[in-house]
Structures are given as C-alpha cells and as structure tokens.
C-alpha cells in the first residue's frame, strides 16, 4: 500500500493539470484495484461507481499531496478527473498571481 509521504510532494512547482490528473488516476486505480491505463479522464466520477468514503479518501490524499486545503465536496462539484485537474491547476496559478 502506498502512503502519501512516499509520493513526491507537489509543493516545489505549481503542479500542472496533467500532473494532478496523473495523481488522481493513480489513486483511483489503487482504490479500484485496476490498471491506471483503464481510467478514462473524461469519465464522470459517478460512472466509476465510487462511494463517498473512497471519494473523500481521494480528496484527502489530493489535499495532502498538493499541500493545500480542499473542499470536501470538490469531486462532486467537478464531475470528471479532467475537470478537477484543470480547476485545481487554474486555481493554483490564480492564487500565485494574486501574491
């Protein structure tokens, strides 16, 4: 079982949408015990048949990896892996520009 600290933290650089997407795919594959290549980035989370325990787990793992607070409802409000990744990447660059 892979724990969060074994994955490289994402703090050094602003992670790109692609990197975030890769992280979510790896977590989903781990939870669903499937090959990461089988995870479709445009598939809705709902179509993967995930329950809220798994969704909260993944959101928490993502927050720890990004080292930032995330709303617990994030994965319900952005329904696909791609949408979540793009939102977080855009949000991160907006936050940096504001500084």
Partner 1 sequence: MGSWRRWTRAERVLPRRSGHYVVTLIELLTSRAETDPRLCGFRFLHETSANGGARLTYFELREKAQTIAVALRAIGVRKGDRVLLLYPPGLDFVAAFFGVLCAGAAAVPAHPPHPARLRSTLPRLEAVVADARPAAVLATAAIRTAAITARLLPAARWLATDELDESQAAEWCEPHVDRDALALVQYTSGSTASPKGVLVTHHNLVRNSVVIHHAFGHSPRSRGVIWLPPYHDMGLIGGVVQPLFGGFPVTLMSPASFLMCPLNWLKAIAREGATTSGGPNFAFDLCVRKTTPEQRARLDLSSWEVAFVGAEPVRQETLERFADAFAPSGFRPEAFHPCYGLAESTLFVTGGVKGARPAVCSVSATALSSGRVAPVESDSRKMVSCGSATHGARVLIVDPERCVRCEPEEVGEIWIASESVARGYHDRPEESERVFGARLADTDEGPFLRTGDLGFVREDELFLTGRLKNVIIIGGRNHCAEDIERTVENCHPALRPGCCAAFSVDLEGEERLVIAAELERRPTEGVEQSPTGIQMLVNTIRSAVAELHDVRAHAVLMLRPAAFPRTSSGKAQRHLCRANFLASTQP
Determine the interface stretch with partner 1 among 13-21, 59-67, 81-89, 90-98 (rule: CB under 8 A): 59-67
Contact call for residue 18 and partner 1 (CB under 8 A): no
Q: Which helix (H) or strand (E) holds 12?
A: none
Longest dimension (CA), the chain: 40
Q: Where do the H-state alpha helices sit in 8-80?
A: 17-32, 52-66, 74-77
Contact call for residue 19 and partner 1 (CB under 8 A): no
Contact call for residue 53 and partner 1 (CB under 8 A): yes
Q: Say how far apart CA 35 and CA 87 lie, in whole Å.
A: 25
Contact call for residue 72 and partner 1 (CB under 8 A): yes
Q: Which residues bind partner 1 (CB under 8 A)?
A: 1, 3-6, 44, 46-54, 56-57, 59-60, 63-64, 69-70, 72-73, 76-77
């Amino acid at each position: 079982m892979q724990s969060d600290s074994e994955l490289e933290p994402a703090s050094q650089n602003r992670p790109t949408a692609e990197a975030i997407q890769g992280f979510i795919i790896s977590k989903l594959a781990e939870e669903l015990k499937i090959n990461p290549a089988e995870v479709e980035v445009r598939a809705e989370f709902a179509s993967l048949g995930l329950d809220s325990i798994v969704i909260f787990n993944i959101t928490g793992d993502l927050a720890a990896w990004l080292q930032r607070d995330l709303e617990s409802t994030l994965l319900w409000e952005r329904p696909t892996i791609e949408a979540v990744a793009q939102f977080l990447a855009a949000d991160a660059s907006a936050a940096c520009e504001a500084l």
